[in-house]
Amino acid sequence: MTASALNRPGERDRLVIKVTQIDWPLVGLLCLIAGMGAVMLYSIAPSSWDPWAGKHLIRFSLCVGMMLVLAVIDLRVWFHLSYPIYILALLLLIAVELVGDISLGAQRWLDLGFVRLQPSEIMKIGIVLALARYYHSITAAEATWSWKLIVPVLLIVVPVALVMHQPDLGTAMLILMTGFAVMILAGLSLKVVGVLVAGGAAALVPVVMFVLHDYQRERILTFLKPEADPSGAGYQIVQSKIALGAGGVLGRGYGLGSQSRLDFLPEKQTDFIFATLAEEFGFIGSFSVLILYSLVIFISLRIATIAHSHFGRLATAGVTATFALYVLINGAMVMGLAPVVGVPMPLLSYGGTVMLTVMVGFGLVQATRVHRYTEVTSGKGTLI
């Protein structure tokens, strides 16, 4: 939309109407979660805006503005950009394999000079958009079970293989599970789902023993019995459990978490920030934050149900599934119910790339809400 267009009363009125259609309670919930993240990052600094809390708030403020801009973009623009975004993300993943920046034994980033980019984060949005667009173009019967499902399987498997090779087990799991969730929501036969789940369970042991890297295998085996090596491979899970248990019902008090303040808890600002929150605010505080996450997921799913276009429904549901998986995997990881795979708690943990990905996703969710009555076709109709 050009500046001259905005000067016309009709265009201004339409923009105002779009802004009023944004789901502001959802925006408020996201702000509350990010605000709680800043509170915790300030506490573990300790009691300082540097090096995490201040940057967290600045990044989130910019991301909120970006989300609101994305919210007013016509849903048909998202539709037409779906495949290009996926292809761009795939090309960037291939570029990582060729010229990626190596850090801490992993090759996951592209150093562009002015920014250090992690293409796997772009793929989290790209896979949702590509699958939603593809399923928009096939019938319900074909989505249930047909040869056409080869395409979404390839759309999922190729980036998962590239991300696994970096190696980044957590992100690969998220992309795989998100893609599988979209396929189920699109109507994949439950019988097929059952067979795939059974096959995946049967392949789990061979994959763990012969496909994963040594450190990934160690993480998975350690989570089954972390106490066997409390000062080595099991250190993270043991310390996280101590923090969770020390919080009790009401917590030790703000700024009084010894596990984080005394640096017993590893990655306290990212992967294990939820354990820090549980230690300082106890069961009541951590449960309250989980309620906020649940409300975000509920509102987002409700937006998916009211969308008129199949593309909007699936895209919104896919973004919501990604967000829910973040919360589920990190929560299970912190409680020792899942291996430590480096998945942060969204908006609560420190990290600009994940925050950007999450807020772009919610920009798409809000665009579906604003344009819920828009009919999306696969033709080349004029975009309004």
Q: What is the pLDDT of residues 57-80, one digit of tens each?
A: 999 999 999 999 999 999 999 999
By the 8 A CB rule, do 126 and 85 touch? Answer: yes
Residue 227 DSSP label: G
Residue 212 DSSP label: S
**Residue 314 falls inside a structural domain:** yes
Contacts of 298 (CB under 8 A, 6+ apart): none
**Residue 378 falls inside a structural domain:** no
Return the SS3 of 308: coil
**Residue 168 falls inside a structural domain:** no
Q: What are phi and psi of 110, to 5 degrees?
A: -115, 125
Neighbour count for residue 111 (Cβ, 10 Å): 12
**Residue 330 falls inside a structural domain:** yes
Q: What is the 3-state secondary structure (H, E, C) of 243-310?
A: HHHHHCCCCCCCCCCHHHHCCCCCCCCCCCHHHHHHHHHHHHHHHHHHHHHHHHHHHHHHHHHHCCCH
What global pTM score does this model have? 0.90
- The total of structural domains in the chain comes to 1
pLDDT of residue 115: 67
**Residue 60 falls inside a structural domain:** yes
**Residue 147 falls inside a structural domain:** no
Report which of 269, 264, 225 is spatially closest to residue 242, judged by C-alpha positions.
Answer: 264
Return the SS3 of 111: strand
pLDDT mean over 214-236: 72
pLDDT of residue 54: 94
Is the predicted pLDDT of residue 31 greater than 70, yes or no?
yes
DSSP string covering 132-166, please?
Answer: HHHHHTS-HHHHHSSGGGHHHHHHHHHHHHHHHTT
Distances 184 to 179, 223, 301, 358 between C-alpha atoms, Å: 9, 29, 15, 22
The answer to whether the Cα torsion of 220, 225, 230, 236 is positive or negative is positive
Reported as a pLDDT band with limits 50, 70 and 90, residue 257 is: confident
pLDDT of residue 384: 38
Is the predicted pLDDT of residue 104 greater than 90, yes or no?
no
Q: What are phi and psi of 286, to 5 degrees?
A: -70, -35
Q: Report the percentage of the chain scoring pLDDT > 90.
A: 56
Polymer length of the chain: 384
Helix axes 119-136, 310-334, angle to 10 degrees: 140
Rounded-to-integer distance, Cα 41 and Cα 52, Å = 6
Structural domain harbouring 316: 12-72+213-370
**Residue 96 falls inside a structural domain:** no
Neighbour count for residue 1 (Cβ, 10 Å): 11
pLDDT mean over 345-359: 92
The answer to whether the Cα torsion of 165, 109, 68, 134 is positive or negative is negative
Largest CA distance in the chain: 70
> Which residue would you say has higher pLDDT here, 4 or 342?
342
> Which residue would you say has higher pLDDT here, 376 or 134?
134
E strand or H helix at 107, and its extent? strand 106-111
Lowest-confidence segment of 140-144, 224-228, 314-318, 329-333 by average pLDDT: 224-228
Amino acid at 96: V
**Residue 308 falls inside a structural domain:** yes
